[in-house]
Structure 1
Amino acid sequence: MTDGFDFSPGAQVPLAGATGQTAATYALAAAAYRDDEVTKILNADNEWHQSKVTPPRSWARIFRPNFGEAFSRAVIDRMLGAGRNPVIQSFGIEPQVVVEHCLAAHRIRRDRDNWLSAITVICGVLFLPGFLVWLLVFTLRTTMAKREDKRAGALATTLLVAVGALAVLFLIRMPFTGFWALYGRASVVMPVVGWFWAKMICERTARDLRERWSSLLSGGGVGAKIPEAVPGNPGDAAEQVRKELARLGAEQRSNSVFYAGPKGILGMGTRWGSWQLAEELVSAEPGKEFHPFRSWDVIVAIQGGLGMLERTSINTGGFPKPSITHWIVTPIGEKATEVSRPGGTDVDAYTVRTHAIQDICNKQQFGSGDRHYLGVQWTLWDGHLVITMLITVTVLHDTLRIEVTGHALGPVNALFNEKPAAKEKTVQKSLRFWETRTVKLPLIDADEVVRLAARAPLTWYPPLLNWLGGGLTLPEPFGLRHAWADQPWRHRFMADDALRAATPVLRVVHTAALKVLRENGVDVEKFGSRSAVLSGAVQEASPKKADVYDA
């Protein structure tokens, strides 16, 4: 299906005030440039969507990835990989921008790894005996230093110092002569020279990555340079990247969503409130039939009323312009690990056509199959809060039911808003031992240089690298936004915004529906009474787990 898409060239950066907002987008994009431990992402998981971090093999900890390496690799593979499963819409953010920053971070690290691979060959492979000894020493040191026992850390440092002393002794009292003496000395010295060379490259790259990480979280909006997405000729790898980015954009614009039981509608958050108006359809004139109408007629009238929500007789700001969409909701299992988007002639680029929406609205109201909902959605707090109110209309045996449900997707987990912290530690002063001072640590320490240099040659074959060092498995069904979204109820103002939206939406829906009923000769007395009761009840709206039935 991607062959018919209109590909847009280059990277796209959301503008301030655009529909997708920027803060939530940049918070997730900044994760691609992070350099802390990958296990921290487990703290960002919510109760419905759990990531999985595969630990490295016990003897291969040196090949483990950090946060940014694992995150960008996992997102690229999941969002752009060949034969990938469909992804869930990311309301409130621009997923393409996040993926583009993952590509940009991967390119920066790949350039660094190319240099490190060359250094490994020149200073390591050509002098393999010494390189293997130094690598073994650093691997043992890293393994011991990771233990909680403080004595293990001291022993690890002692080991490195001892090997260094033996290396100096080996250089002074060389047991060989001639060529092998020169080669032996070079085997000891060249890996150390390579380490210093690699350290300069690693520090330069680390500063670049940290500047991008900090800039995104500060709102700077640094652009994502991804030349690999600009094909030089048809059929090359960049063409596939462009196709997958276009496919991702089409999925983001899709009006097909999925309901997964207690998880709610994926991408929109859980259902926190529900209000039903259901009464019998009776003619306003006894002995005379009312004019027949369809559910779609009521929906169209409600849609017109929702479009006026941003207007108010009192100039108080009020609602911003909402997004009004006809959604087709497909039920899936609570523990489903993948989704399947609808296809066929009724679907164009993952978007269900209008005539098919009308058929579902009018006919599929009972039993199996997809259901139609009219949704009004606001993206607030720079993308950190997504409020969605869904309306569905059903008619069963002369009983009209209008249901309004509230959904709220909270802010991106606070972990993604953490800026890069300076690397430093607090130590006691030499003379005034009762006082402490802060000492700045190098941005890249010895162990990190060795880790990056050891990983570099294997980055050309990710399956082997993942098998050795582990990696990140994203929660399924995957969507960039809902996978790491918190509940909005811990944030007072966000909770207030979600609750306040319910009352005006409910009243607009009821007003539009009663107007259609009157125009078609239906007695609206009972509907009006029921609407008044709901109008009073909704004023005390409070969040509940409406998708968890106590039965």
Structure 2
Amino acid sequence: MTVESGYGDIFGPQVPRTSDGDQTATFALASASYRDNPVADIKKADNEWHQTTLKPGRKWGRIFRPNLGEAYSRAVVDRMLGPGRKPLIQSFGAEPQVVVEHALAANNIRKDRDNYLTVVMVLCGLLFLPGLLVWLLIFSIRTTVAKRDDKRAGALATTLLVAVGALAVIFLIRMPFTGFWAWYARACVVMPVIGWFWAKQICERTAKDLRGRWDSLLAGSSVGAKVPEAVPTSPGETKADQLRQSLAKLAAEQQSNSVFYAGPKGILGMGTRWGSWQLAEDLVPADPSREIHPFRSWDVIRAIHDQLRMLERNTLNTGGFPKPSIRHWIVTPIAESAKAVSRPEGTDVEAFQIKTHAIQDICNKQQFGAGDRHYLGVQWTLWDGQLIITMMITVTVLHETLRIEVTGHALGPVNGLFTGKPEAPTKEVQKSFKPWETRKVNLPLVNTDEVVRLAVRAPISWYPPLLNWLGGTIALPEPFGLRHAWADQPWRHRFMADDALRAATPVLRVVHAAAIRVLEENGVNTEKFGTRSAFLSTAVQDASPSKADVYDA
């Protein structure tokens, strides 16, 4: 399953076109850019290996704090498209370019909103600064009081606001000044209130748009992410060309055949290793009077590769395996606590792809000691991108012993935080004539405090570093990849667990059959290999997930 970013007109807005509907994980991750949850909710999506860090702003800058969508979209764009960014981990089962495009689109929507709010702040706020400061002080006191645990705090905060409003009316009627300053004082009281009503309309319109996109993505309608700034409209638009190149680089890195093994974290992007089966026997000539015909590990791997292509064929009409992705991977070991990765470079690498001759050389020679290792992977993307099953095969020959190792890796669904649909804000109140019963009442989509927060943030939104310093932001888990950073374990989902376990037996048998055939063709006695293969074939039927990467030494 792929997402083709097709752009009919190079001078028009970019609207990604999806090739199929199996993009649940992609759209779930993309929907986070449109959300208005509290930013602290991102911690609920953390797993045992990857933790998101909340970077707090100034203690006195609470009003500048971002919500989840604002912080997420900004962090994703900066991390994945920023100049001089560190390498990324592939997002198997998702399309990171689509997620980034939606983050850019969400930033554009908020930017348009902030431009309007800035005009409101200038006309109704900065020109009447004394009144604006007084009203902001009152709202800050009200917010602080309302957040107390006391049940009466909400009523007290509302009473405070009503009392201040009454004082403002009295002040307007019994003005202590005359002349110009009297009218200016009246304007300082009234204009910030008018500006608030104006800002509320702008905020509600934008909130409806963002929530509509959020809901559409989770409903599978694949709403387009318009990113017109990524399409140069003239030869001199270097910024647009740089953004276009960054998106192309992101797509190319997603297709890299280089992955990283981080100890107990497993292969980053593929998940932890839950099972391992090893067939290791001596290479003995079938005919004692003849020597074994020389062969290499690559010859065995190539035969296994060809045979794995037959996995989708079925004897019985029962559905069976969908077509898997079969690739040669170069695995680089990194420390469990590593905060960055370094992709291979040099003449053997082109567009993040390690060339075939280099892969063969690693497969045949780098089997002991330091260096990268070669694995043949067969991967299924199931459950609309929510489950990634990867079986990795490696062949090594040390002295006269040939070892064939098959390991199972599984990456589960994205955390439920990303799949939750928007809900209209409501509260329960007592019925007028039946106080022992309650009913739900719809609340405004954007409340009073949210309007004030957005209006205050708007004038400095053009410079995100200052906004992050004042209100805080989030630091994404490193090494960062969109898919594995917020993936849950598949073992809590019965059918996902069954699919992962069922894939092991057919793959193991195909691998052993192909390898034994190569050995027979090269004059190797395969009796012990066949016996050991039969034993493993029996053992794998009782497969159960375990933490195979945690060695109890």
What is the CA deviation profile of residues 280-310 of structure 1, one whole-angstrom value per residue up to 9, with x for unaligned ones?
0011111321101000000000000101100
Shift, 1:144, TM fit: 2.2
For 2:406, the aligned partner's letter is: V
Could you tell me how far apart the structure 1 residues matched to 2:476 and 2:143 are?
A: 27
Shift, 1:231, TM fit: 1.7
The 3 A distance-change label for structure 1 pair 153 and 453 is same
For 2:147, the aligned partner's letter is: K
Aligned position for 2:3:
none
Query: What is the correspondence of 1:62-461 to structure 2 with a 5 Å cutoff?
Result: 62-233=63-234, 234-461=236-463
- So what's the TM-score if we normalise by structure 2? 0.96
The 3 A distance-change label for structure 1 pair 49 and 215 is same
Q: Is the 8 A contact 1:408 1:488 kept in 2?
A: yes
Q: Structure 1 residues 139-148 or 207-216, which shifts more?
A: 139-148
Shift, 1:351, TM fit: 0.7
For 2:165, the aligned partner's letter is: G
- Any idea what SS the aligned residue of 1:333 has? coil
What is the CA deviation profile of residues 145-179 of structure 1, one whole-angstrom value per residue up to 9, with x for unaligned ones?
22222333333222222221221111111111111
Q: Is the 8 A contact 1:412 1:485 kept in 2?
A: yes
Could you tell me how far apart the structure 1 residues matched to 2:7 and 2:362 are?
A: 31
Shift, 1:235, TM fit: 4.5
- Any idea what SS the aligned residue of 2:285 has? coil
What is the CA deviation profile of residues 478-515 of structure 1, one whole-angstrom value per residue up to 9, with x for unaligned ones?
00000010000000100000000000000000000001
Shift, 1:477, TM fit: 0.4
Q: Structure 1 residues 143-152 or 523-532, which shifts more?
A: 143-152
Aligned position for 1:3:
none
CA RMSD of aligned residues (A): 1.3
For 2:73, the aligned partner's letter is: S
Q: Is the 8 A contact 1:7 1:246 kept in 2?
A: no
Q: Is the 8 A contact 2:394 2:406 kept in 1?
A: yes
| Structure 2: runs of 5 or more not aligned | 1-5
Could you tell me how far apart the structure 1 residues matched to 2:489 and 2:481 are?
A: 16
Q: Is the 8 A contact 2:55 2:472 kept in 1?
A: yes
- Any idea what SS the aligned residue of 2:312 has? coil
| Structure 1: runs of 5 or more not aligned | 1-5
For 2:331, the aligned partner's letter is: V
Shift, 1:7, TM fit: 11
For 1:213, the aligned partner's letter is: W
- Pairs aligned (count): 543
What is the CA deviation profile of residues 224-243 of structure 1, one whole-angstrom value per residue up to 9, with x for unaligned ones?
01111112234532212111
Task: Tell me the percent identity.
Answer: 74
Could you tell me how far apart the structure 1 residues matched to 2:286 and 2:32 are?
A: 61
Q: Is the 8 A contact 2:7 2:15 kept in 1?
A: no
Could you tell me how far apart the structure 1 residues matched to 2:19 and 2:190 are?
A: 52
Could you tell me how far apart the structure 2 residues matched to 1:430 and 1:318 are?
A: 60
Could you tell me how far apart the structure 1 residues matched to 2:63 and 2:17 are?
A: 36
For 1:476, the aligned partner's letter is: E
Shift, 1:12, TM fit: 2.1
Could you tell me how far apart the structure 1 residues matched to 2:142 and 2:239 are?
A: 41
What is the CA deviation profile of residues 27-47 of structure 1, one whole-angstrom value per residue up to 9, with x for unaligned ones?
111111111111111111100
Q: Is the 8 A contact 1:503 1:538 kept in 2?
A: yes
Q: Is the 8 A contact 1:64 1:468 kept in 2?
A: yes
Q: Is the 8 A contact 1:7 1:243 kept in 2?
A: no
For 2:217, the aligned partner's letter is: L
What is the CA deviation profile of residues 111-149 of structure 1, one whole-angstrom value per residue up to 9, with x for unaligned ones?
000000110011100111101111111122222222222
Aligned position for 2:17:
13
What is the CA deviation profile of residues 11-30 of structure 1, one whole-angstrom value per residue up to 9, with x for unaligned ones?
4232225xxx3111111111
Aligned position for 2:492:
490
Could you tell me how far apart the structure 2 residues matched to 1:136 and 1:13 are?
A: 48
- Any idea what SS the aligned residue of 2:461 has? helix
For 1:461, the aligned partner's letter is: Y
For 1:49, the aligned partner's letter is: H
Aligned position for 2:471:
469
Aligned position for 1:532:
534
What is the CA deviation profile of residues 241-267 of structure 1, one whole-angstrom value per residue up to 9, with x for unaligned ones?
111111111110000000000000000
What is the CA deviation profile of residues 351-381 of structure 1, one whole-angstrom value per residue up to 9, with x for unaligned ones?
1000000000000000011000000000000
Could you tell me how far apart the structure 1 residues matched to 2:522 and 2:206 are?
A: 70
Aligned position for 1:499:
501
For 1:27, the aligned partner's letter is: A
Could you tell me how far apart the structure 2 residues matched to 1:88 and 1:136 are?
A: 46
Could you tell me how far apart the structure 1 residues matched to 2:145 and 2:240 are?
A: 43
Shift, 1:415, TM fit: 1.2
Shift, 1:464, TM fit: 1.2
- Any idea what SS the aligned residue of 2:178 has? coil
For 1:538, the aligned partner's letter is: V
Q: Is the 8 A contact 2:7 2:16 kept in 1?
A: no
Could you tell me how far apart the structure 1 residues matched to 2:67 and 2:373 are?
A: 43
